[in-house]
Amino acid sequence: MDDPTPAVDSPIRAGPDDAVDVALAQSGDTQAFERLYRAHVGRVFSLARRMMGPETAEEATQDVFVRAWEKLGSFRGEAAFGTWLHRLAVNLLLSQRSRLGRDRARLEPTDDALEHRSGRGPRPELVMDLETAIGRLPQGARQIFVLHDVEGYKHEEIGAQLGIAVGTSKAQLHRARMLLRSHLEPQAKERM
């Protein structure tokens, strides 16, 4: 992970002061780096929480920013700092996944058919449920779901990142979606 320059745009956008603070941080100014941290910690922490789970998200977030500090010299301003940081975070989180090799309780898919919901927009409790359900997905399916459906990566990019075939990425995404579907729908019904 020498140069985490992103291949795709991420939703992260640089703040107006990022360029100055990046330059200052590159010169050793930790206060400038703290400003960068505060501007981007929510994005990085949310990514870590979804990919690694809530138990290790804080530690992983710290690791990302420490790594960013160490790698600031490789940032040349070709992309927005936030984009660069996001790709660095994805790379680091994926490598930690391999190192930790942990798995979680799996959601078992069911064959229960779902009733059609007619709601226009997502209900807040469903959004919360989805965050919880993502955390309960098997590791591989979870990370592919987060990268594809939340972060907007394409299967080709995910395959390259994880060293897996595009077909495998598609299959894992479908598995994740089906598991989430089976998890979310009974809870939605209970609230009716």
Partner 1 sequence: MTDRDPWTARLSEYVDGELAADERVELERHLTICGECRTIVADLGRLRDLAATLVDREPDRDLWPAINARIGGEPRVLPLRRRWAFTLPQLAAAAVLMLVVGAGGAAVALRGNGPTTVAGPAAIGPVDPAAVPIALAASTSFDHAVAELEQVLAERRDRLDTATVRVLEQSLRTIDRALAQARAALVTDPNDAYLNAHLAETMRRKLNLMRRAATLVAAS
Residue ranges binding partner 1 (CB under 8 A): 16-20, 22-24, 26-30, 32-34, 37-38, 41-43, 45-46, 50, 57-58, 61-62, 65-66, 69-70, 72-77, 113-117, 122, 126-127, 130-131, 145, 149-150, 155, 170-171, 173-174, 177-178, 180-181, 184-185
Q: Which residues, other chains included, contact 29 with Cβ-Cβ below 8 Å and sequence gap of 6+?
A: none
Q: How far is the CB of 83 from partner 1 (least distance, A)?
A: 15
Q: How far is the CB of 139 from partner 1 (least distance, A)?
A: 18
**C-beta of 34 vs 103, nearer to partner 1:** 34
Range list of β-strands (E), the chain = none
- Report the 10 Å Cβ neighbour count for 149: 15
Q: Which of 74, 72, 143 is nearest to 104 (CA)?
A: 143
**C-beta of 87 vs 155, nearer to partner 1:** 155
**C-beta of 8 vs 77, nearer to partner 1:** 77
Q: CA 93, CA 45: separation in Å to the nearest integer?
A: 11
**C-beta of 73 vs 101, nearer to partner 1:** 73
Q: How far is the CB of 178 from partner 1 (least distance, A)?
A: 8
Are 170 and 155 spatial neighbours (Cβ–Cβ below 8 Å)? Answer: yes
Q: CA 35, CA 123: separation in Å to the nearest integer?
A: 34
Q: How far is the CB of 105 from partner 1 (least distance, A)?
A: 20
Q: How far is the CB of 79 from partner 1 (least distance, A)?
A: 12
**C-beta of 101 vs 192, nearer to partner 1:** 192
Between the alpha carbon of residue 180 and those of residues 121, 132, 138, 161, the distances in Å are 18, 10, 11, 23
